[in-house]
Amino acid sequence: MDFEYSDKVKELQARLTAFMRRHVYPADAEFRARAERGEFPLDIIERLKPLARAEGLWNLFLPGLREDEPGTRLTNLEYAPLAEIMGRVPWSSEVFNCSAPDTGNMEILHLFATPEQRERWLMPLLRGEIRSTVGITEPGVASSDPTNLKTRIVRDGDHYVITGRKWFNTGARHPLARFCLVMGVTNPEAEPHGRHSFVIVPFDTPGVRVVRDLPLLGHHAPEGHAEVAFEGARVPVANLLGEEGKGFAIAQARLGPGRIHHCMRTIGQCELALELMVARAQEREAFGRKLADFSNVRDAIAECRLEIDQARLLTLHAAWLMDRLGNRAARTAVSAIKVVAARMQTRVTDRAIQVFGAMGLTPDTPLAYLYTWGRALRFIDGPDEVHLNVVARQELKREPQSPLEAVLRRAE
């Protein structure tokens, strides 16, 4: 396996880095200040999106991008290092039309949308004209087991009626949010993995109500992680995505690449945290010495570098497997990186906060937010325990390469 970045990727990395330095980093302070006041700085995003598209830095995440669709077609392995660069400023992915949950929604619309759904919903998403959300997790059940989901999608003539409640609908407060992909039960009598379906529910549908925004450990995201109630919301049967009862298959098609994107953005955030940590250690003095001269601080810096590089290599390996063999074959590798990257983010940012001292707890640096997001990532797209079970199940299937009985007899 050769993970040397191709000349194409290196050129895109250089172009993206230059764009971030020229346009994104200078706007970050204003974006965060306005977001902390409770507004979404849409004008900043909208000003930068045409510039990104003109430079070919648009829709970089979709390997199946068609010739008539805007963007630059890249494999998962090619996109991964670019997601890392975007991750250094959490809001920047939207500038390049590469932000979650739109990326996953575009992925499954690309795979399962009818021609009519494609024109109404997918193409505006690909052009960056609208935003979307996905409604899977529910407050009333353990959603780590998706067979528990209770939201009902009931056929009534030419319509589906949706009743239930979803939460952590990322992007529901975004001013351009136009629809939610809702996963719910269409056939409660079917086997557990054949009961659920996805429907497209526009936000202006009567009976759709944003109940509240949910802060993550006290932090409110400007686009929102909302709880949304569906109170007898009616949508045409034509809004069914794919086939009835295929919700689990659609969800898996959506989540695999998205988990790689999350992990690479996390790695970018940890690189930023480490850079801040190093700068602080070299600048700040205590007890007559630079912090960087203390062995425990040097150990913390080294531990961060080891963990970031390990997580990056595992993530690139998962992306490589997905490109070569598909989502299903890469499932165990994707579960592994999902656990490793999220845990790594909390460890790296925690060390950085410790070196900054009390300042690291304040909004004066991005560290407190990055720590919060790393902790949340241990639930997002499946909790650690689910992914660890995937990895363990694969190990338990593995045939021992040596005669196990003979090894055990020797041990006795």
How far is C-alpha 144 from the geometric centre of its chain's CA atoms?
Answer: 16
Indicate the helix (H) or strand (E) that contains 155: strand 152-156
- Residue 14 sits at the vertex; the CA angle it makes with 89 and 54, to the nearest 5 degrees, is 80
- What is the C-alpha to C-alpha distance for residues 143 and 129, in angstroms, rounded to an integer? 31
Q: What are the residue ranges of helices labelled H in 55-177?
A: 76-87, 102-112, 115-117, 123-126
pLDDT tens profile 250-277: 887 777 788 889 999 999 999 999 999 9
In the prediction, which pLDDT does 78 show? 95
**Dist. CA 59–CA 83, nearest whole Å:** 11
> Can you say whether residue 242 is alpha, beta or left, with left for phi > 0 and alpha for psi between -120 and 50 degrees?
left
Q: Using alpha carbons only, how large is the chain's radius of gyration in Å?
A: 22
For 97-111, the pLDDT digits (tens) are 999 999 999 999 999
Q: How many angstroms separate the CA atoms of 182 and 113, rounded?
A: 14
Instruction: Return d(Cα 101, Cα 254) in angstroms, integer.
Output: 10
249 or 343: which leads in pLDDT: 343
Distances (CA, A) of 34 to 23, 28, 119: 17, 10, 34
Please give the Cα distance from 330 to 332 (Å, whole number): 6
The one-letter amino acid at 263: C
**216-221 average pLDDT score:** 87
DSSP state of 59: S
Confidence class of residue 404 from pLDDT cuts 50, 70 and 90? low
* CA-based nearest residue to 108, from 243, 266, 265: 243
> What is the DSSP pairing of strand 159-170 with strand 177-185?
unpaired
Respond yes or no on whether the N-terminal peptide bond of residue 222 is cis (omega within 30° of 0).
no
> pTM higher than 0.75 for the full model?
yes
Q: What are the tens digits of pLDDT across the range 74-90?
A: 999 999 999 999 999 99
